[in-house]
Amino acid sequence: MYNGIGITTPRGTGTNGYVQRNLSFVPTKRDRVEYVKDADMKKLETLIEKKGNAEILEHEKKRKIEVKCMEMRDMMLNNGYDEEVTNQKVQKFRKML
């Protein structure tokens, strides 16, 4: 390769071997490849729903029900309902959920 232009020697090319840069050449722009960063991967992983242990999911479900029952109980006691009436209503509410 002579002078980086793809021929071994300037002989037979009709040139004296002097190579100039083509100033009118406009290089095509390469598309930049966007790589996924570690921080972005962590965000994506948190969005993916993970299947949990069945016992843990059942416990969470029961816990949410108990939280709603306790909120209802507190609300009724704050509004002046009787303790027995409150307990009966909370039991009915729990069975409904």
Structural domain spans, the chain: 54-96
pTM for the structure as a whole = 0.45
| pLDDT tens-place string over residues 32-72 | 888 878 888 888 787 777 777 888 889 999 999 999 999 99
| pLDDT tens-place string over residues 69-95 | 999 999 999 999 988 999 898 999 888
Q: CA 92 to CA 87: how far, in whole Å?
A: 9
The three-state (H, E, C) secondary structure of the chain, written as one string: CCCCCCCCCCCCCCCCCCCCCCCCCCCCCCCCCCCCCHHHHHHHHHHCCCCCCHHHHHHHHHHHHHHHHHHHHHHHHHCCCCHHHHHHHHHHHHHHC
